[in-house]
Amino acid sequence: MKKFFLWSTLLVTLLIMCVAVGGYLYLQGYGQKKLLNNQQTLNVNIPSGTSVRQLSQQLVSQGLVKEPWSFEVYVRYRGKALQLKAGEYSVPAQSSIDELIALLVSGKTRQYTITFVEGWTVRQALEVLAQAPKIEHTITPDQWQKLPELLGFKSTYSHPEGLIFPDTYAYSAGTKDTALLKRAYEKMERTLAEEWPKRAQNLPYQNVYEALIMASIVEKETGVPEERPAIAGVFVRRLQKNMRLQTDPTVIYGIGERYTGNITRKHLQQDTPYNTYRIMGLPPTPIALPGKLAIQAALHPAPGNSLYFVAKGDGSHHFSSSLSEHNRAVRKYQLRRRQDYRSNPQAN
């Protein structure tokens, strides 16, 4: 009986050891296994608060692993159970289980992008933001005037125009629209803080906000990057000589939604805070989102004598230092545009 007991104990011990060794060897090779049905990049979305057991079951339902228990045991064996991060992940094709776990531990969630374009208004930016995928929307485009209050802008900024930096921003699923707007606002603040101390001397701005207003006008006046300093130079000299800026984009901004595509004589005669054909100096706020090149142009205007410019019809401008020269340029380029329209109206 005693012998039988000893042999039984030995057999059980050997069996346990075999199972332990087998389990160890299985776990050692488990992480190298390829995920099932992973022939192309696919998404794995882990909601916040998901447990390892729930994740294992989710991976089974997605057809990535065969059974939930082995994945759960392996993750716990690796000591990663508390390191997995919630979010939406793009899992590359032919990933192994170890590679999947490393991705979920890294927190490198799938990234989406949104672009705010130079020259857009804040309202236009909000309209695009409202259509962006995977964002938690809390603000509507109609609330654009309330952005300083909603985002906690500085109290000196009572108007939101021009205060968010036009750029491309990456975000993960579930990001709040306010978080993206705050990033864009903070980037504008950093850009102004970096550029303002490097400004040229004797500029007609009382503060950095006036420089931002000028930059927004420059941004709207030309899409040709190398012209921005020349455009800024014209406006700076006009301010220094107490001349009205007389720039159409400010008039258009003042008209607002009533603008239908053409500036009329009546528009130029309307009294709005943005009608620079009637007011002296800068308008009260920016009129668009200026990019870094426009900000640098406003702070480093090109020297010269030009006080006027007119669009040549190809995106660039003709600059003049006298009104008579400007009037000749206006007649020249406006006549050319009329002739081009008559010969090919569909192109205009």
pLDDT in tens, 97-124: 899 999 999 989 889 999 999 999 999 9
For residues 69 and 125, state if they share a domain.
no
For residues 284 and 338, state if they share a domain.
no
Per-position b or e across 116-146, b if 16+ CB within 10 A of its CB: bebbbbbbbbbeebeebeebeeebeeeebee
CA distances from 131 to 103, 124, 148 (A): 29, 11, 22
Whether residue 304 lies inside any domain: the answer is yes
Cα(289)–Cα(122) distance, integer angstroms: 7
The domain boundary, picked from 48, 77, 109, lies at: 109
pLDDT digits (tens, 9 = 90+) for 287-328: 999 999 999 999 999 999 999 888 888 888 888 888 888 889
pLDDT above 50 (res 261)? yes
Answer for the pair 305, 321: CB distance below 8 angstroms, yes or no.
yes
Which residue type does 136 have?
E
What percent of the chain is helix, strand and coil (3-state, nearest 5)?
50, 10, 40
For residues 207 and 304, state if they share a domain.
yes
User: What integer best gives the mean pLDDT of the chain?
Assistant: 85
Whether residue 4 lies inside any domain: the answer is no
Mean pLDDT of 332-343: 53
DSSP helix/strand/coil, 47: coil
pLDDT above 60 (res 2)? no
For residues 90 and 177, state if they share a domain.
no
Residues with Cβ within 8 Å of 316's Cβ and at least 6 positions away in sequence, in order, are: 222, 224, 227
The domain boundary, picked from 109, 133, 160, lies at: 109
For residues 138 and 237, state if they share a domain.
no
Total number of domains in the chain: 4
pTM of the entire predicted model = 0.81
- Which residue has better confidence, 214 or 262? 214
For residues 126 and 103, state if they share a domain.
no
Answer for the pair 205, 214: CB distance below 8 angstroms, yes or no.
yes
- In degrees and rounded to multiples of 5, residue 28 shows phi and psi of -60, -35
CA distances from 81 to 29, 68, 87, 242 (A): 19, 14, 15, 70
What percentage of the chain has pLDDT greater than the value 90?
49
Q: How confident is the model at residue 336 (pLDDT cuts 50, 70, 90)?
A: low
For residues 204 and 169, state if they share a domain.
no
Q: How confident is the model at residue 338 (pLDDT cuts 50, 70, 90)?
A: very low
pLDDT above 50 (res 13)? yes
pLDDT above 80 (res 335)? no
Cα(249)–Cα(316) distance, integer angstroms: 16
Whether residue 56 lies inside any domain: the answer is yes
Mean pLDDT of 210-237: 94
For residues 283 and 213, state if they share a domain.
yes
Structural domain including 260 reads: 200-309
Specify the pLDDT at position 222: 87
Specify the pLDDT at position 68: 86
Q: How confident is the model at residue 187 (pLDDT cuts 50, 70, 90)?
A: very high
Whether residue 16 lies inside any domain: the answer is no
Answer for the pair 257, 188: CB distance below 8 angstroms, yes or no.
no
For residues 178 and 146, state if they share a domain.
yes
Specify the pLDDT at position 24: 47
For residues 208 and 163, state if they share a domain.
no
For residues 178 and 125, state if they share a domain.
yes
Residues with Cβ within 8 Å of 256's Cβ and at least 6 positions away in sequence, in order, are: none
